[in-house]
Amino acid sequence: EDKVVQSPLSLVVHEGDTVTLNCSYEVTNFRSLLWYKQEKKAPTFLFMLTSSGIEKKSGRLSSILDKKELSSILNITATQTGDSAIYLCAVDKRDDKIIFGKGTRLHILP
Amino acid sequence: DADVTQTPRNRITKTGKRIMLECSQTKGHDRMYWYRQDPGLGLRLIYYSFDVKDINKGEISDGYSVSRQAQAKFSLSLESAIPNQTALYFCATSDRRTTDTQYFGPGTRLTVL
């Protein structure tokens, strides 16, 4: 059975801290791994990772995929209160299905 | 204007009622999806459609049906709503010609009493 597991499920840190969110997966026909940020309601796309070892970066956020370990991490440096959200990891399969993890709820204290 | 819209945004209904949630998109994407989100469970796929004539069940399709009336419209129906269908419902679109990125609508909060 396909599964995507995120850890931790929730995290509370102070503004300015650096956080690392984890995502591991066991799926057949892996195509890519996706990270989303969900604030209030609809998720917004952050990164799509297809190649192992190549870091993707957007401002203070970065992510990397390790296909050998079947995992990915999402790093956020110098966190701000606006980073408070649920971060979703998903795996896109070659049969065009997408499997989501349960998300990590991140709360940044001022 | 939003690229992916959902109506209604909020709905409270009673057990046994028929409910339709609608999704429209102006992105010109061929693929559309319906998800539900429950606390602690993340997003779960209900149905997806790769074009007007292609409808597929997701992981939790029981109790739901869909209709792809046009490339831009994908509606989700609950023929006889039950309380455990209370959830936040998202519509999403993607275009196979470009990336696998999905674009989400704002969500519909459905409460079944």
Chain B nearest C-alpha distance from A15 (Å): 25
Contacts 24+ apart (CB under 8 A), A66-69: A67/A30, A69/A24
Dist. CA B107–CA A4, nearest whole Å? 23
Residues of chain B positioned with their CB less than 8 A from the CB of A45: 101-103
Q: How much is the average pLDDT of A58-64? A: 96
Counting one residue from chain A and one from chain B, the pairs whose CB atoms sit within 8 A come to 45
Query: What average pLDDT does the segment A72-91 reach?
Result: 94
Which of helix, strand or coil describes residue B29? coil
In 3D space, the residue among A60, A65, A47 whose CA is nearest the CA of residue A16 turns out to be A60
Whether B100 sits inside 8 A of A32 (CB atoms) is yes
Kindly report the average pLDDT of chain A as a whole number: 90
Using alpha carbons only, how large is chain A's radius of gyration in Å? 13
Q: Which two tokens stand for residue B7?
A: 């109506």
pLDDT tens profile B58-68:
889 999 999 99
